[in-house]
Amino acid sequence: MADYYEVLGVERSASEEDIKKAYRKMSRKYHPDIAGPEFEEKFKEVNTAYEVLSDPDKRRMYDQGVDPNAPGGGNPFGGAGFGDMGDIFSFFGSAFGGAAGGPGPLPRTQPGRDSLASATIDLKTAVFGGTADVTVDTFGVCQTCGGSGSADGSQPTTCPQCHGSGHVQKIVRTMLGQMMTPAPCETCEGHGTVIDNPCTECHGHGRVRTRRDVGVTVPAGIADNTRLRLAHQGEVGECGGPAGDLYVDVRIRPDKQFTRDGDDLHCWIRVPMSWAVLGHDLDIETFDGTETLTVPAGCQPDQTVVLKGLGVTHMRDADERGNLVAHIGVDIPTKLSDSERQLIEEFAESHDSSAGAVSQSSRPTTPSRKGFFDKLKDAFS
């Protein structure tokens, strides 16, 4: 027999409130929409444990060594003790046509399940933080009856079919003959009470299917595919039951100007050959506005220039940010006039006349090992 107390992580002396809190915690943890489909069986086990321990009659039966969910109602002698003999005879009473105690009525107020949604933000929102709106299709409180399920606000009355027990006795044919077994009452759906004048909007459930927009606070520095939790923003429970939580998967849209690497931002800038040779100050657009970037004299292709503190906000320290790394590309002209070509040849003759033999290696040479004008001569040749 499964240990339902262990499944919910509570002591055997736990109160109804403790069991309810433990159930909500475990159901959120193992919900297949949140934890993944591989936890579906574990989620069913949690629900089974709560179904037994939240019902006083089922819990009493279980504490006496009888699992109400086991085939045939469980083995009454399989637990640690037999319990009170009157309870055992009461348990077997239904098998002999007696008035046996059923599993008990189901409470009308039920906790709502968790919901899952997704939001896509731009990179700038990930850098500084902000808000995102998500549309959630779930159950909300019925505005017509205010969640009571009753059209006139009246309280539910005792079910005339099951007299408040939530179940009725049915005859089941077995290999041992006909036996009486409890089954949920169809009139009250197992609640033991009926709503005489149910709300026409929610049909007595106190909630309706609805679509609503929820504002999500996005923390600065959030990473792609991060899951955020919004407490009590999920599915509303039946008849005023507490709402579950809303989980939002946040995805970051690719940016046209910057690429993110951790908390650093990278961009690629192409400059004319003369700027790379002589150096140049230029303005670039950042998420903080226009900033001045200095291309150093003699800048090599693929060289980087770092602008500190213009990257992504650190999640653990909002006062710190990563860097903006600019990768410099050099535009080497491919068509020159005769005068331009003559000037380049004169420069090469005076600057590169002492150059030695070509270096050959089994590995690519780094940009710093090959001069800018060497690349220029390679392009012309």
Report the 3 state secondary structure along 185-225.
CCCCCCCCEECCCECCCCCCCCEEEEEEEEEEEECCCCCCC
CA distance linking residue 23 with residue 379, whole number of Å? 71
**Extended beta strands in the chain, E state:** 115-121, 130-141, 157-158, 167-174, 177-184, 193-194, 207-218, 226-230, 246-252, 259-261, 264-272, 280-286, 289-295, 304-307, 324-331
In our burial notation (b when 16+ CB lie closer than 10 A, e otherwise), range 262-300 reads ebbbebeeebebebbbeebeeebebbeeeeebebeeebb
Identify the pLDDT of residue 359. 63
- CA-based nearest residue to 194, from 220, 160, 156, 228: 156
User: What is the rounded average pLDDT of the residues 348-377?
Assistant: 60
- Out of 6-10, 75-79, 123-127, the most confident range is 123-127
Q: Which residues contribute to the annotated binding site for Zn(2+)?
A: 142, 145, 159, 162, 185, 188, 199, 202
Count of other CB atoms within 10 angstroms of residue 362: 4
Write down all domains in the chain, each with its CATH number in brackets. 1-71 (1.10.287.110), 259-380 (2.60.260.20)
> Residues in the chain, how many?
381
- Which of residues 331 and 33 earns the better pLDDT score? 331
User: What is the rounded average pLDDT of the residues 90-102?
Assistant: 41
Which of 60-64, 114-118, 225-229, 342-346 has the lowest average pLDDT?
60-64
Flag whether the pTM goes above 0.85.
Answer: no
pLDDT, tens only, 250-306? 999 999 999 999 999 999 999 999 999 999 999 999 999 999 999 999 999 999 999
Q: Which residues contribute to the annotated binding site?
A: 142, 145, 159, 162, 185, 188, 199, 202
Phi, psi of 195 (to 5 degrees): -95, 110
- The SS3 assignment for 180 reads strand
Which of 134-143, 282-291, 309-318, 339-348 has the lowest average pLDDT?
339-348
Identify the pLDDT of residue 366. 53
What is the enclosing helix (H) or strand (E) of 16? helix 16-30
In the chain, what percentage of residues exceed pLDDT 90? Answer: 49
Mean pLDDT of all residues belonging to the chain: 83
- Which of residues 345 and 64 earns the better pLDDT score? 345
Phi, psi of 212 (to 5 degrees): -145, 155
- The SS3 assignment for 24 reads helix
Identify the pLDDT of residue 213. 93
Identify the pLDDT of residue 96. 38
- Out of 64-78, 175-189, 319-333, the most confident range is 319-333
User: What is the rounded average pLDDT of the residues 327-351?
Assistant: 87
Q: Which amino acid is at 334?
A: T
Strands 115-121 and 246-252, how do they pair?
A: parallel
CA distance linking residue 228 with residue 144, whole number of Å? 32
CA distance linking residue 112 with residue 377, whole number of Å? 72
